[in-house]
Chain A
Amino acid sequence: MRNRSVTYSPEAAFQALADPTRRAVLDLLRRGSQPAGAIASAFPVSRPAISKHLRLLRRAHLVREHREGRHRVYQLNPEPLRAVDEWLERYRSFWAASLTNLKSFVEAEYGKEMQAGSPSKHKQK
């Protein structure tokens, strides 16, 4: 969170991916780099609107821009998606660890209760 400049933030990627046009732009760039004009003509929205989407994608580092003569060319950079992936990964390890703790705890307690031979009073039918 603190060092946004060196690590990609999943927040920026999530936000950029929230819009269907931006997702479609990324999808288009998957087939190869495209000049801004070609991207704009592929969508039924105004050029300024596309410029705005491209700017947001650039800020999220999902695309890179360079100049070729008079054209601005956009290239897909899938790297920040790793941050999205890592975010899910965090939950995966959180739940795996929690349930492993739960298992050790319940099995130890239940074992003790069974030896003591009473508490849950034969709930088994």
Chain B
Amino acid sequence: MATSKITPDNDAVVTEIEIAAPPERVFRALVDREQAMQWGGGKDFEIVLWEMDARQGGKWNFVSRDRTGKNPTGFSRFEHHGEFLEFDPPRLLVQTWYANWHPDPSHKTIVRWDLTPTPKGTLLKVTHSGLATMAGVAAGYSQGWPGLVQQIKSFLEK
């Protein structure tokens, strides 16, 4: 199982998993359409579109559909797109990530994939950042309130 946690500033979700295959093999599954179509969906979602210009500066684009019809966002079609900021196989992949179902669809979030070789295979770490600043960036403000949210949450949970 993957371990996934939210950073204390509420800005990023960090997920790690170890995979028994070398980084080259894992990287291929990330950027090869045939492969991504196979693992990218799941019980609740179906991938209906997947396009990727796999190089630095290249664009990517994927659309998934909710199979359950009861997604809490109220959306049934989830559109994601962005561009590769860094493309360094088989070690690193950094992409911008925009989504139609975000509170601000034009707000940039960043997904970073770090692949590190281990005796068993590959440690894959995915960091999705820019989440908490969603509304803040639009207001010209990019930090500070996540700490407040944390404080108020602890207040709430007392």
Q: Give residues in A with beta carbon < 8 Å to B.
A: 1-2, 10-11, 14-15, 17-20, 23, 26-27, 30, 76, 78-79, 81-82, 84-93, 95-107, 109-110, 113, 120, 123-124
28 pairs, A vs B, C-beta closer than 8 Å = A1-B73, A1-B75, A15-B135, A17-B149, A18-B138, A23-B145, A23-B148, A26-B152, A30-B151, A76-B152, A78-B156, A81-B149, A86-B72, A88-B10, A88-B131, A92-B15, A93-B4, A95-B126, A95-B128, A96-B15, A99-B124, A99-B126, A101-B39, A102-B29, A103-B17, A105-B35, A106-B21, A120-B25
Cβ A91 vs Cβ B148 within 8 A: no
- Chain A minimum-CB-distance residue to B41: A101
CA distance A106 to B135 in the complex (A): 37
Interface centre among A27, A100, A104, by most chain B C-beta atoms within 10 angstroms, is A100
Asked if B48 is at the interface of the complex by the 8 Å CB criterion, the answer is: no
CA distance A76 to B155 in the complex (A): 11
Interface centre among A2, A97, A104, by most chain B C-beta atoms within 10 angstroms, is A97
Q: B40 to chain A: closest CB distance in Å? A: 7
Q: Chain A: interface secondary structure? A: helix
Cβ A81 vs Cβ B151 within 8 A: no
Q: Chain B: interface secondary structure? A: mixed
Which chain B residues numbered 119 to 156 have a C-beta less than 8 Å away from chain A?
A: 124, 126, 128, 131-132, 134-136, 138-139, 141, 144-145, 148-149, 151-153, 155-156
Asked if B49 is at the interface of the complex by the 8 Å CB criterion, the answer is: no
Interface size class of B (residues with CB under 8 A): 35 or more
On chain A, the residues within 8 Å of B39 by CB distance are 98, 101-102, 104-106
Among all A-B residue pairs, the 10 with the closest Cβ atoms: A1-B74, A14-B135, A105-B39, A110-B21, A95-B15, A18-B135, A18-B139, A99-B2, A96-B4, A11-B103
On chain B, the residues within 8 Å of A23 by CB distance are 144-145, 148
- Chain A minimum-CB-distance residue to B23: A123
Interface centre among B3, B16, B21, B75, by most chain A C-beta atoms within 10 angstroms, is B21
- Point out the residue from B2, B124, B135, B155 that lies within 8 Å of A96, measured CB to CB: B2
**Mask of B10-44 contacts with A, CB within 8 angstroms, 1/0:** 10010111111110111001100001001111100
Given known contacts A30-B155, A123-B22, A91 and B131 CB-to-CB distance under 8 angstroms: yes
CA distance A90 to B42 in the complex (A): 15
Cβ B156 vs Cβ A95 within 8 A: no
Q: A94 to chain B: closest CB distance in Å? A: 8
